[in-house]
Amino acid sequence: MRLRSAAALLVLLAVAGCGGDESSFSQDYNRAVRPLSRLGEHIGTKPSSFDALARRTRETRQNLSTLDPPDGAQDELKALLTRLDAVTADLRGVAKAARGNDVVDQRKAARALLRSSNAVEQAETRLKRAVEG
């Protein structure tokens, strides 16, 4: 399964941050995504690794929900929060499927995680563009 690449995508989101502009929002954003960046190289393919990533993704989502985005970026932040909810659910789905022995369920869960991870990446890019103007 390509589960490791989906998890790595989430870590890249955290490492990339909003970057560029040193505005208060960008700094707050970068602090908010720290729970994901702390995972580093410790991402594995065991169910417990995906459970841990789901917890950190949920924590990151909660951190981001407290931010006050600049004018014109509210919808993009809201979309990112929605996508993070989907990734959290898909990470839990991968962990559950990995605990079972059904290869079909594991593949379905992996595909769902890849889709939702890509959606997070796209939402984060749109937010970054909205913040940078």
Which pTM was predicted?
Answer: 0.81
Burial (CB < 10 A; 0-12, 13-18, 19+), residue 80, is buried
pLDDT digits (tens, 9 = 90+) for 10-52: 544 544 455 444 478 888 988 898 887 765 555 677 888 889 8
pLDDT digits (tens, 9 = 90+) for 60-104: 999 999 999 998 999 999 999 999 999 999 999 999 999 998 899
User: Which residue segment(s) compose the domain that 96 sits in?
Assistant: 3-132
Domains contained in the chain, number? 1
CATH number where 103 lies: 1.20.1420
Task: State whether residue 40 is helix, strand or coil.
Answer: coil
